[in-house]
Structure 1
Amino acid sequence: MTKDEIYAKLKETLVNDFDIEEADIKPEANIGVDLDLDSIDAVELIVKMKPYIDGKIEPELFKSVKTVQDVVNILEPLTK
Protein backbone atom coordinates (compact mmCIF):
# COMPACT_ATOMS: atom_id res chain seq x y z
CA MET A 1 0.00 0.00 0.00
CA THR A 2 1.11 3.53 -0.64
CA LYS A 3 1.23 6.16 2.07
CA ASP A 4 -1.83 7.81 0.50
CA GLU A 5 -3.77 4.53 0.67
CA ILE A 6 -2.74 3.98 4.28
CA TYR A 7 -3.73 7.53 5.16
CA ALA A 8 -7.14 7.02 3.51
CA LYS A 9 -7.76 3.78 5.46
CA LEU A 10 -6.56 5.37 8.68
CA LYS A 11 -8.81 8.37 8.15
CA GLU A 12 -11.78 6.12 7.35
CA THR A 13 -11.16 4.11 10.53
CA LEU A 14 -10.86 7.21 12.70
CA VAL A 15 -14.13 8.61 11.34
CA ASN A 16 -16.15 5.39 11.41
CA ASP A 17 -14.84 3.69 14.54
CA PHE A 18 -13.73 6.58 16.74
CA ASP A 19 -16.32 9.21 15.73
CA ILE A 20 -13.66 11.79 14.90
CA GLU A 21 -14.66 14.59 12.57
CA GLU A 22 -13.06 14.11 9.16
CA ALA A 23 -12.01 17.77 9.08
CA ASP A 24 -9.92 17.23 12.23
CA ILE A 25 -7.87 14.43 10.66
CA LYS A 26 -4.79 15.88 9.04
CA PRO A 27 -1.29 14.44 8.70
CA GLU A 28 0.02 16.86 11.31
CA ALA A 29 -2.83 16.19 13.78
CA ASN A 30 -1.55 15.06 17.17
CA ILE A 31 -3.23 11.79 18.07
CA GLY A 32 -3.60 12.57 21.77
CA VAL A 33 -4.14 16.32 21.73
CA ASP A 34 -5.99 17.03 18.48
CA LEU A 35 -7.86 13.73 18.09
CA ASP A 36 -8.28 13.00 21.82
CA LEU A 37 -7.19 9.37 21.57
CA ASP A 38 -5.68 7.75 24.65
CA SER A 39 -3.26 4.83 24.67
CA ILE A 40 -6.07 2.27 24.68
CA ASP A 41 -7.63 3.96 21.63
CA ALA A 42 -4.24 3.94 19.91
CA VAL A 43 -3.90 0.19 20.46
CA GLU A 44 -7.42 -0.34 19.13
CA LEU A 45 -6.58 1.76 16.07
CA ILE A 46 -3.57 -0.41 15.30
CA VAL A 47 -5.68 -3.56 15.76
CA LYS A 48 -8.18 -2.17 13.25
CA MET A 49 -5.34 -1.52 10.78
CA LYS A 50 -4.02 -5.09 11.19
CA PRO A 51 -5.82 -6.46 8.07
CA TYR A 52 -3.64 -4.17 5.93
CA ILE A 53 -0.39 -5.14 7.62
CA ASP A 54 1.82 -8.06 6.71
CA GLY A 55 3.32 -9.68 9.77
CA LYS A 56 3.53 -8.67 13.39
CA ILE A 57 3.43 -5.13 14.68
CA GLU A 58 6.16 -4.43 17.21
CA PRO A 59 4.87 -2.19 20.04
CA GLU A 60 8.26 -0.44 20.28
CA LEU A 61 7.62 1.10 16.84
CA PHE A 62 4.73 3.10 18.22
CA LYS A 63 6.40 4.60 21.27
CA SER A 64 7.49 7.67 19.29
CA VAL A 65 4.20 8.15 17.42
CA LYS A 66 2.70 11.58 17.93
CA THR A 67 0.87 12.45 14.71
CA VAL A 68 -1.31 10.80 12.09
CA GLN A 69 1.62 11.04 9.66
CA ASP A 70 3.83 9.18 12.16
CA VAL A 71 1.33 6.29 12.08
CA VAL A 72 1.33 6.29 8.27
CA ASN A 73 5.14 6.34 8.16
CA ILE A 74 5.42 3.37 10.52
CA LEU A 75 2.70 1.30 8.85
CA GLU A 76 3.86 1.84 5.26
CA PRO A 77 6.80 -0.60 5.31
CA LEU A 78 4.61 -3.18 7.08
CA THR A 79 1.72 -3.20 4.60
CA LYS A 80 0.88 -5.96 2.17
Structure 2
Amino acid sequence: MEREKIIAIANDFLINEFEVDGDEISNEANLKKTLGLDSLDYIDLVVVIESNFGVKLGEADFKQMVTFEDFYTTIENKIAEKNA
Protein backbone atom coordinates (compact mmCIF):
# COMPACT_ATOMS: atom_id res chain seq x y z
CA MET A 1 0.00 0.00 0.00
CA GLU A 2 1.31 3.41 -0.94
CA ARG A 3 2.24 5.83 1.84
CA GLU A 4 -0.20 8.49 0.57
CA LYS A 5 -3.06 5.98 0.86
CA ILE A 6 -1.96 5.01 4.39
CA ILE A 7 -1.95 8.68 5.41
CA ALA A 8 -5.36 9.33 3.82
CA ILE A 9 -6.98 6.31 5.50
CA ALA A 10 -5.37 7.03 8.88
CA ASN A 11 -6.30 10.70 8.86
CA ASP A 12 -9.86 9.84 7.84
CA PHE A 13 -10.45 7.52 10.79
CA LEU A 14 -8.66 9.85 13.21
CA ILE A 15 -10.91 12.73 12.17
CA ASN A 16 -14.17 10.76 11.93
CA GLU A 17 -13.86 8.19 14.69
CA PHE A 18 -11.59 9.94 17.19
CA GLU A 19 -12.82 13.50 16.53
CA VAL A 20 -9.35 14.90 15.89
CA ASP A 21 -9.30 18.33 14.24
CA GLY A 22 -7.87 17.75 10.76
CA ASP A 23 -6.05 21.09 10.95
CA GLU A 24 -4.01 19.77 13.88
CA ILE A 25 -2.73 16.76 11.95
CA SER A 26 0.69 17.29 10.39
CA ASN A 27 3.75 15.09 10.04
CA GLU A 28 5.58 17.01 12.78
CA ALA A 29 2.68 17.28 15.26
CA ASN A 30 2.96 15.37 18.52
CA LEU A 31 0.76 12.30 18.16
CA LYS A 32 -0.17 11.80 21.80
CA LYS A 33 -0.87 15.47 22.52
CA THR A 34 -2.93 15.94 19.37
CA LEU A 35 -4.99 12.79 19.84
CA GLY A 36 -5.43 13.19 23.59
CA LEU A 37 -6.32 9.51 23.94
CA ASP A 38 -6.86 7.62 27.17
CA SER A 39 -6.00 3.94 27.58
CA LEU A 40 -9.39 2.76 26.26
CA ASP A 41 -9.02 4.98 23.21
CA TYR A 42 -5.69 3.31 22.45
CA ILE A 43 -7.45 -0.06 22.41
CA ASP A 44 -10.01 1.37 19.99
CA LEU A 45 -7.18 2.77 17.87
CA VAL A 46 -5.48 -0.64 17.71
CA VAL A 47 -8.76 -2.21 16.56
CA VAL A 48 -9.36 0.47 13.91
CA ILE A 49 -5.79 0.14 12.59
CA GLU A 50 -6.16 -3.62 12.40
CA SER A 51 -9.50 -3.40 10.57
CA ASN A 52 -8.24 -0.79 8.09
CA PHE A 53 -4.73 -2.09 7.46
CA GLY A 54 -4.72 -5.72 8.60
CA VAL A 55 -1.84 -5.16 11.02
CA LYS A 56 -1.72 -4.95 14.78
CA LEU A 57 0.27 -2.38 16.73
CA GLY A 58 1.41 -3.18 20.24
CA GLU A 59 2.34 -1.12 23.25
CA ALA A 60 6.00 -1.07 22.21
CA ASP A 61 5.01 0.38 18.83
CA PHE A 62 3.10 3.23 20.45
CA LYS A 63 5.95 4.01 22.82
CA GLN A 64 8.23 4.63 19.83
CA MET A 65 5.81 7.01 18.14
CA VAL A 66 6.22 10.71 18.83
CA THR A 67 4.88 12.39 15.68
CA PHE A 68 2.28 11.57 13.07
CA GLU A 69 5.21 10.84 10.74
CA ASP A 70 6.25 8.07 13.17
CA PHE A 71 2.66 6.78 13.23
CA TYR A 72 2.44 6.54 9.44
CA THR A 73 5.90 4.98 9.17
CA THR A 74 5.08 2.35 11.79
CA ILE A 75 1.91 1.35 9.93
CA GLU A 76 3.80 1.33 6.63
CA ASN A 77 6.54 -0.88 8.10
CA LYS A 78 4.03 -3.29 9.66
CA ILE A 79 2.26 -3.65 6.31
CA ALA A 80 5.60 -4.28 4.58
CA GLU A 81 6.54 -6.92 7.18
CA LYS A 82 3.19 -8.64 6.75
CA ASN A 83 3.53 -8.70 2.97
CA ALA A 84 7.18 -9.87 2.98
Range of TM-score over shorter length: 0.7 to 0.9
Return the offset for 1:28.
Answer: 1.3
Alignment of 1:1-80 (within 5 A): 1-51=1-51, 52-54=53-55, 56-79=56-79
Unaligned runs of 5+ in 1: none
Return the offset for 1:22.
Answer: 1.0
CA distance in 1, matches of 2:61, 2:32: 17
SS in 2 for 1:37: coil
Whichever structure has more helix as a proportion of its residues is: 2
User: In angstroms, what is the RMSD of aligned CA positions?
Assistant: 1.9
Unaligned runs of 5+ in 2: none
Return the offset for 1:70.
Answer: 0.6
Question: Can you list the C-alpha shifts for 1:3-62, whole angstroms capped at 9, x where unaligned?
Answer: 1111111100111001111111111111222332334423322220112134x5443222
Compute the TM-score of the two structures, normalised by the length of structure 1.
0.78
CA distance in 2, matches of 1:27, 1:50: 21
Task: Please list every run of at least 4 consecutive aligned residues from structure 1 whose deviation after the TM superposition is greater than 3 angstroms.
Answer: 56-59
Pairs aligned (count): 79
Residue 22 and residue 3 in structure 1: after superposition, are their counterparts in 2 closer, same or farther (change >3 A)?
A: same
Residue 71 and residue 57 in structure 1: after superposition, are their counterparts in 2 closer, same or farther (change >3 A)?
A: same
CA distance in 1, matches of 2:64, 2:32: 12
